[in-house]
Chains A and B, each alone.
Chain A
Amino acid sequence: MSTQTATPPPRFGPAIPRKRSKKRIGGWRWAGRGILAFLLLFTALPMAWMIITSLKSQLAALQYPPQWWPEEVTFQNYIQLLSPNNEVGQEFLQYFWNSFYVSILSTILGVAVAVPAAYAFSRFRFPGRQFLFFSVLLRNMFPAVVFLMPLFLLMKWLGLVNTHGSLILTYLTFGLPLSIWLLKGFYDNIPVQLEQAARIDGATRFQAFFYIVMPLSSPGIIATGIYAFIMAWNEYVYALTFMNSKDKLTLPVGLQRFFAEYATNWPGLMAASFIMSVPVVVLFLVLQKYFVRALTEGAVKS
């Protein structure tokens, strides 16, 4: 009893310091705003300069005190890259298309491979399950450059060098560990009773999986699909090594070759970088929720 009566004073005691701490919160809040303002400038200014430069003529870009805003705004760089009537545009659109279809195909194949695997890791108890699961997760620990040599030789033996098949085969493993991890989390949370009910109604194990479980995990599938697409779209190292004929290049490599040939055309390069960023940024902005989920899932237990 005596201890209980002793407690109230300290509880009521901090009434005055609390006011002070409220003031302090204000200080912290301002610090937070300061950080955000700094990061916003740090993030946005380079991108803004990319866009501003892309709207200049080559002559206007190469001036010493730079034109902070182009004296003459021109869309010539974009028109040149996107019109199929000139050589530059043809090449650029070809790279764009290559990038696009390699990324799409590897994303679809990656998901198709990951879904059943994740399901198995979640539902079945087969020997070696733990080991296999973690060896899949470790894939991202290995740098692309280290795998280049053996994969290059492998593709040579398989006759896949200089075909998009080599890229698709390699890229589909990018999203794989993450997809399996993320989807396994989904399946863990889908009650088994749902499937059991379907099976009692006469569905086979596969039907129960395909018609009942898979639709429920579509947010996870979208999330991993976006992640895989963005990874494939941005990939550079394998594309640089596996492809050697000009019409087969993907955008990241194409960009480099394309602009190294002539004297560096900076406004053109900025315009190309901008166009190249558009699909992934749009995809990211539209499906942001899923993308963030793909990134953070697994690391954060909720």
Chain B
Amino acid sequence: MTIDVAHQGGAMPAPRLRRKPNVFQRIVRHWNDYTYIAPALLVMLLVIAFPIYYTIELSFFKTPANLSMDKKIFVGLDNYWAILTSRSFWDVTYNTLIWTVFSTFFAFVLGLGAALALNREFLGRGILRALLLIPYVISAVAASYVWKWLYHSDFGVIGALSVQFGFTDRPINFLDNIYTALPAIIVVNIWKEFSFAMIMLLAGLQTVPDQLLRAAQVDGANAWQRFWHITMPHLKGVSMVTILLLVVTNLNSFIIPWIMTGGGPAGATDIWITQIYQMAFGRIRFGMASAYSVILFIVMMLLGYFYVKALTRGDEAKVG
């Protein structure tokens, strides 16, 4: 019991000391403990483990359009082969990369700038922070409609302003042009999520010791040097987690591209997720869409590995 108490705070107990009971004995001994997590586990099994398993299973089958799954036909790796050899897959992958990289980069940079600027007391700081966070809180559906209206080809305010200031002669049709559609929706995405990076980094900045910054100032380090050599190293962990979460969110984001352009024009804004949705519920090809999903799973699992690693890094440091 005392050993248990001593380890309450740490993440890794040292089980080597008491290796005697085997796994089954230990499970039986801790039987009561499992009842606490049983409800959570049950829900997770139903809503998460089962879908993962079933997606993988379906990815090897050709599924009938009426969705009676007892009539599905085993096709091995054909679905994967068909996807990886299709030209559209690589176009979509390219779009997905552009979408994810640019959204993440700008959201992070703007978030970092905002966090640094907000990291000192001034009048209205709290209000400003709250205001900047509103886009992150509101529904992506509402945000998409608002921006669709801003980008509107005839009556959109952005087009009208660019004419007013003499950038263009005529309002640009942002969402129907294959060159501007993807950048246009990336801007919306950045608008929606930069404040997430801001709030994470702002919390991270609280961990930068003040004395260290002051000491560096006394030693003659300029603002940039202090930022680069003291603030940034302290923000490394938070930045890692933030960037990973942004990448995952962006890879998974469906609402903004779906509502604003639906993948168009001519597939210019089609990303993996919209493609999967289109395949599954537009063309009712669940098998194919499942194979697509599994490819996405694999990418996610790789990212997930780094996510858990970034999260636990702090724990290990605390124990050691």
Binding partners A and B? yes
Cβ-closest chain B residue relative to A176: B40
* Given A32-B116, A36-B117, A145-B273; A169-B146 close (CB under 8 Å): no
The 8 A CB mask of B112-152 against A (1 = contact, 0 = none) is 01101110000000001011111101111110011101101
CA gap between A25 and B225 in the complex, in Å: 12
Question: 0/1 per residue, A57-74, Cβ < 8 Å to B?
Answer: 000011111100000000
Judge whether B277 and A145 touch: CB under 8 Å.
yes
Tell whether B30 is near chain A: CB-to-CB under 8 Å. yes
| A121→B37 contact, CB < 8 A | yes
Residues of B contacting A172 with CB < 8 Å?
A: 43
Which residues, 84 to 104 on A, are CB-close (under 8 Å) to B?
Answer: none
Q: Which of A169-199 contact B (CB under 8 A)?
A: 169-170, 172-173, 176, 180, 188, 192
> In the bound complex, how far is the Cα of B11 from the Cα of A256, in angstroms?
47
Please determine whether B37 and A192 come into contact, CB atoms closer than 8 angstroms.
Answer: no
Within 8 A of A (CB), among B1-57: 4-5, 7-9, 11, 13, 23, 26-27, 30, 33-34, 36-37, 39-41, 43-44, 46-48, 50-52, 54-55
Distance between Cα atoms of A146 and B296 in the complex (Å) = 8
Query: What is the distance, in angstroms, from A256's C-beta to the closest C-beta of chain B?
Result: 7
The segment from B84-92, B174-182, B198-206 found at the interface with A is B198-206
* B230 in the interface (beta carbon within 8 A): no
Q: Check: B185 CB closer than 8 A to any chain A CB.
A: no
Does B51 contact A154, Cβ atoms closer than 8 Å? yes
B interface secondary structure, majority: helix
B266 at the interface (CB under 8 A from A): no
- A262 part of interface (Cβ distance < 8 Å): no
A269 pairs with B149, CB closer than 8 A: yes
- Give the B interface residue count (CB, 8 A): 110
A-side contacts of B149, CB under 8 Å? 49-50, 53, 266, 269-270
Interface bits A287-302 vs B (CB < 8 Å: 1, else 0): 0100110011011111
Q: Is A17 an interface residue (CB 8 A)?
A: yes
Residues of chain A within 8 A (CB-CB) of B238 are: 299-300
User: Interface centre among B160, B221, B293, by most A CB within 10 Å?
Assistant: B293
B281 close to A (CB within 8 Å): yes
Task: Tell me, in angstroms, the Cα distance from A117 to B36 when the chains sit together.
Answer: 5
Query: Is B43 within 8 A of A300, CB to CB?
Result: no
Task: Report A-chain residues with C-beta under 8 Å of the C-beta of B218.
Answer: 11, 14, 18
- The answer to whether A39 touches B40, judged by C-beta atoms less than 8 angstroms apart, is no
**18 contacting pairs across A/B (C-beta < 8 A):** A13-B220, A40-B131, A62-B154, A64-B154, A113-B39, A130-B11, A139-B48, A142-B48, A145-B254, A146-B293, A170-B47, A230-B137, A269-B145, A281-B134, A284-B130, A285-B130, A288-B130, A302-B207
Closest 3 CB pairs of A and B: A14-B220, A32-B117, A143-B252
Beyond A143-B252, A145-B280, 18 additional pairs, beta carbon < 8 A: A13-B220, A18-B218, A21-B220, A35-B113, A35-B117, A40-B131, A61-B155, A116-B39, A121-B37, A138-B307, A143-B254, A143-B296, A146-B293, A149-B280, A300-B204, A300-B206, A301-B237, A302-B206
